[in-house]
Amino acid sequence: MDIEEDIRSLQLDSAEDINGVVNPEDEKPDVDNLDKMDEDPKQEVQTQAVEAEPKAKDKEIPSVQDEEVEQMEKRHLNVVFIGHVDAGKSTTGGQILFLSGQVDDRTIQKYEKEAKDKSRESWYMAYIMDTNEEERAKGKTVEVGRAHFETETTRFTILDAPGHKSYVPNMISGASQADIGVLVISARKGEFETGYERGGQTREHVQLAKTLGVTKLLVVVNKMDDPTVNWSKERYDEIESKMIPFLRQSGYNVKKDVSFLPISGLMGLNLKTRMDKSSCPWWDGPCLFEALDSIDVPMGDPKNPFRMPIIDKFKDMGTVTMGKVESGTIREGDSLFIMPNKDQVKVIAVYIDENRVKRAGPGENLRVRVSGVEEEDISSGFVLCSVANPIPAVTEFVAQLAILELLDNAIFTAGYKAVLHVHSVVEECEIVELLQQIDPKTRKPMKKKVLFVKNGAVVLCRVQVSNLICVEKFSDFPQLGRFTLRTEGKTVAVGKITAM
């Protein structure tokens, strides 16, 4: 059984990037037939009149930056670091922050001493990204670390995703916000093989990244300075030759969307400056900063309806929501909805990093202070959106699913239960009806009635959740219409919403 082939058949390798921009050279997903299959009444969201919001109780807020500063001359990209546990994601992220001047020498010395006291000398760079005690004690990332750095042309937000299989849900939340993926692979003898074989997180992370809309991938072969590798071209070539067919089967266009490069995260080699020929005479490609700078990622349309899935909220002179703008533009003073509760709010202030700005567009990670709603009335997975064109809130939708690998003896049929992950929503769901099986080769529905399907099948089905969730059709907003189903810590299916 070939899991990777299934993801191709699902056509999540559509040319639409996470903000819905289409490359005319690539094939568009075939959703026309699927929309016609939705025979049941649609569950629509009715926009209802909302009473005028209460007056803001915020304290006085500092003056807004000038329009010129707010324009943000540099583009902004979110980069998620993914890969098997211990591949060196946090260490590489920490080294990037140090090399780009985000962390000073004194802090590094403090982390070195802390790591040495724990007899974990090589972990000190990871402490920059892994900030809580559990992560430092275990040497494992648990939460998605978040940090910022800049190159000459681009502002980057690093999302350091956990590699351990117990924390895949956190990895999913990080990857769903990303524009670019950096897949970190350990070149150390035995470590690459452990991460790549079935059950290793290298495979699952690649498949999830593609499903979650990470269209561009940088594969960094880390630990090239390890004594078992010693910058060996043979080892690098071996890893590249094994990864390319797998990446292709996972839906990546390897020539256009994937780049490979060797690095040492711990020593900071080939990150900010190119490799010294004396250490690695065979490498004449770019360093990591150059490779990240050169990636072209189309951004969403700032004129589309506003959509910002909320990943977190807190109180600070009012209610503050956090999230990434998937579509549209937000301005200070806007009236917006928080769905699915239809709470009408007023935008008091918008922040990019620590800077207050007058407006912000697609791709930006924001903190938005609003009035008209209490912090306890907002949950992760709610969506800040335009009043004129709010996001639909539903308890049921039709989706096209690719079944990857069910648990032993499980059958995928009506009544199947799993955990649904879509943008920042995590909800238990149930498959209430299998509508039609799709032929993976022709991508057309089969005529015979389907009662159950096995691994490798592509099926059109009706999915139900117990609470209202905010989603979109994949054809309208890809990033808000693609999802994964997981059961008992395993990804069993990936899908896209075709009708509501």
pLDDT tops 60 at residue 371: yes
pLDDT tops 80 at residue 359: yes
pLDDT tops 50 at residue 35: no
**More reliable by pLDDT, 179 or 14:** 179
pLDDT tops 50 at residue 62: no
**Predicted pLDDT of residue 449:** 83
- Examine residue 286 and say whether the peptide bond preceding it is cis (omega within 30 degrees of 0): no
Backbone angles phi, psi at 327, to 5 degrees: -165, 150
pLDDT tens figures, 462-491: 999 999 999 999 988 888 898 989 888 788
pLDDT tops 50 at residue 16: no
**Predicted pLDDT of residue 219:** 94
Average pLDDT, the chain: 78
If you compute the radius of gyration of the chain from its CA atoms, what whole number of angstroms results?
A: 23
**More reliable by pLDDT, 70 or 133:** 133
- The arithmetic mean of pLDDT across residues 279-306, rounded, is 88
Residues 6+ positions from 408 with CB-CB distance below 8 Å = none
- The arithmetic mean of pLDDT across residues 370-376, rounded, is 90
Identity of the highest mean pLDDT range in 167-171, 269-273, 314-318? 269-273
CA distances from 212 to 157, 162, 326, 427, 485 (A): 17, 16, 13, 16, 12
| Amino acid at the residue 338 | I
**More reliable by pLDDT, 96 or 47:** 96
Q: How far apart are the first and last CA of the chain?
A: 32
pLDDT tops 50 at residue 13: no
Instruction: Report residue 192's pLDDT band, with 50, 70 and 90 as the boundaries.
Output: confident
Q: How many CA atoms lie within 13 A of 184 on its CB side?
A: 28
**Helix locations, 278-331, DSSP H:** 288-294
**Predicted pLDDT of residue 423:** 87
Q: How far apart are CA 183 and CA 203, in angstroms?
A: 10
pLDDT tops 50 at residue 40: no
Picking from 383, 333, 477, the residue whose alpha carbon sits closest to that of residue 31 is 477
| % of the chain with per-residue pLDDT over 70 | 76
Q: How far apart are CA 53 and CA 395, in angstroms?
A: 27
Identity of the highest mean pLDDT range in 12-26, 89-103, 169-183, 269-283? 269-283
pLDDT tops 50 at residue 121: yes
Instruction: Report residue 84's pLDDT band, with 50, 70 and 90 as the boundaries.
Output: confident
**Predicted pLDDT of residue 163:** 56
- The arithmetic mean of pLDDT across residues 22-27, rounded, is 36
Structure-block tokens of residue 164: 């351990």
- The arithmetic mean of pLDDT across residues 158-167, rounded, is 67
Backbone angles phi, psi at 121, to 5 degrees: -55, -35
Instruction: Report residue 199's pLDDT band, with 50, 70 and 90 as the boundaries.
Output: low
Global pTM exceeds 0.75: no
Structure-block tokens of residue 172: 């999913």
**What's the DSSP call for residue 264?**
B
pLDDT tens figures, 401-455: 988 888 877 889 999 999 998 888 889 999 999 999 888 778 788 888 888 888 8
**Predicted pLDDT of residue 453:** 87
Q: How far apart are CA 395 and CA 462, in angstroms?
A: 11
Backbone angles phi, psi at 392, to 5 degrees: -65, 145
Beta bridge mates, 319: 315, 370
Instruction: Report residue 47's pLDDT band, with 50, 70 and 90 as the boundaries.
Output: very low
Taking 3-state DSSP, the helix, strand and coil percentages for the chain, each rounded to the nearest 5, stand at: 25, 30, 45
pLDDT tops 90 at residue 258: yes
Q: How far apart are CA 128 and CA 81, in angstroms?
A: 14
**Predicted pLDDT of residue 351:** 92
pLDDT tops 70 at residue 120: no
| % of the chain with per-residue pLDDT over 90 | 32
